[in-house]
Structures are given as C-alpha cells and as structure tokens.
Amino acid sequence: MPEFDFTFPGSNTIHYSRRVTAWVVAPERITLETGLLHCCHGWGGNRFQYAELMRDFANRYDLVCVATEFRQSGFDFDHVTGRGSGIPYDASHFQVLDCLNAIRETLRLYPNLNRQRLLVFGGSQGGHITMLMTVFAPRSFAAAISGSGIAWLDQERIAWAGRDFSDDELAVRDTVRLAPEVRCPVVLMHGTADNTVPDSHTRALEKALRQAGKVPIVAKYFDGGGHALEPVSNRQQATIELADALLRQARLGGTDDFLAGRRVVVPAVTRSLVLDWSRPASAHDVMRWEPAAAPNNSPKDRS
C-alpha cells in the first residue's frame, strides 16, 4: 500500500514561512472509481492520528486518504514529539485553508481520481475543520463526517488558543451559525461523557443543520462514550457503523469548487471572508477579507 509525505507552500507566506506537510495512504490499485478522503487530526495532534483508519479505509472504500499537518500543531510545532500546539493558536482558520489546499495538491498528484467522491472526516478540532471545509468549498464534497467535533469557539477553546478573537473571526469559525451553507450529507457522532469537548457542541450543530433542512443528517450520541467514544466505541468503528453507505455510494453532483475556480463568499459580521479557488495554493490571496455589503449578526454566546 503506497504511503508517503509531500509538502507544498502554504498560503499567508508573509507570516508563515514553512511548507505544509501532508501524508497520503493510497489503495493498492487506483481505479476510475477511486475517490479521496481527507482526515483531520485534533488540536495539537499530528497527521498520523488516524493512520489505522486511513490504511483500512483506503482499500475498504477505494479512497486515496490524505491527512494534513496543521500549522502550529504536531510535528510542525515540535519536530521531535509531534505533539502540542503554538500559543497564540490559529484555532481553525488558516489550518482549514491548508487542509483544502492539501486536497487540491493531492488531486494534482492523482489527476485521474473520481472528483465526485471527495469526502472529509475529522475528530475534535479536526471535526471543526471538517465542517468549515464544507463551508469554504461548499460545492466540493460528497459527504462530511465529524466525531466529537468543536462547533464554535466557546470560552474554553478561546482560552486554549491563548488570544482574543474579533466578532468576524468568531463568526467564520462558528459552524452552527454557518450550518445553512453546508450542502453535503453530514454524519455526526459524540460521546455523552466527553470531558474535552461537550456533546452540546454536536447537538447544537445537529439542530442547526436540521433547521436549515438542506442536507441529510445522521447523528448518534454514544451513551457513556468519552472524547474518542471510548470505551463504548471508537471513531473508526463508529464511522463504519454510521457512514458505510456514504463512503461507498455518495457522489457529488456537478463540478467541485477547485476545478471550477469558484469564488466563495462567507459573510461574517463587519466583513466577508472570500475564498478564490482560481488562485494557486501558494497565492497569498486565496483567502482574504473584504468589506461586507451589510452588517451581519454577531455569533451567539453558547458558553
């Protein structure tokens, strides 16, 4: 089974000079049906967190699996231990862009992949980033899977990040607020005994997605499960249980944002965040702020 790292220049290189690293696990044989699954690790973790899942899913579901090393996390933060995160911390902003660009670069390495089968998975902060990826590239993914995910930056997550955030910054990190922008089927899982990220995050996101009424939702709360769903289950087995059909059958209709080079506008409070997918991954203006046409509502306090 082919496994390898590759690097690419990150956006915002004025302030971040390192190249972004991604790890790929590919199936034994690439076919016309082979798709792509991006796996997002957790806060302070590294790209190998879901190694077992990636090796299993590559052949089980015929997917090239890719995991991005978040800037300020894992081996990017500590090249020896692969653990920890920088303070102040990006907390799911440029890290989201790095993951989306890793998908673009993987598609460049594997130009014959089935682009109707682009899927995203993540847990904890990785679940947060996974859901934000579906907003920043809303017409790109066939399905999204979030395990024990952060849904917005509450006061505890803000304290973890070690800095303050403007209303605009909070707004574009708030997946509950942004739920109406999600256009692909979503699978959510969370343990009721999670002491790291309370299940209220996933419950609020599920409610918002159902109220938006735009996409199919599967949600399960594992009674007594912790942050990794232990001892009741684990995220790999829960994903097989809840998302097996999607991982096999989900298909995107139409052309993805990357291939189409679309411009995506995400309204915040006083400004709008703009993603320009016609720009190369290394461009400083793939993601930028622009003045908003009209003020938008501030993120609600759900602490």
| pLDDT at residue number 248 | 98
Q: Give the 3-state secondary structure of residue 99.
A: helix
pLDDT digits (tens, 9 = 90+) for 139-165: 999 999 999 999 999 999 999 999 999
Q: Which domains, from first to last, does the chain contain?
A: 3-260 (3.40.50.1820)
Nearest to 196 by CA among 163, 157, 233: 157
Give the chain's mean pLDDT: 95
Residue among 236, 226, 172 nearest 194 (CA): 226
Distance separating alpha carbons of residues 19 and 2, to the nearest angstrom: 22
Q: What is the pLDDT of residue 71?
A: 92
The pLDDT score that the predictor gives to residue 301 is: 62
Q: Which residues contact 123 (CB under 8 A, 6 or more apart)?
A: 40, 41, 42, 49, 50, 146, 147, 148, 149, 228, 235
pLDDT at 11: 81
State both tokens at 52: 């077992």
150: tokens are: 């952060």
- What's 72's DSSP letter? T
- What is the spatial distance between Cα 109 and Cα 286, in angstroms, rounded to a whole number? 20
Q: Are strands 19-25 and 3-9 parallel, antiparallel or unpaired?
A: antiparallel
For residue range 65-93, what is the model confidence (pLDDT) as tens digits? Answer: 999 999 999 999 999 999 999 999 999 99
Query: What does pLDDT average to in each consecutive run of 10 residues of the chain (303 residues)?
Result: 92 76 97 97 98 98 97 94 95 96 98 98 98 98 98 98 97 98 98 98 98 97 98 98 98 97 97 96 90 66 62
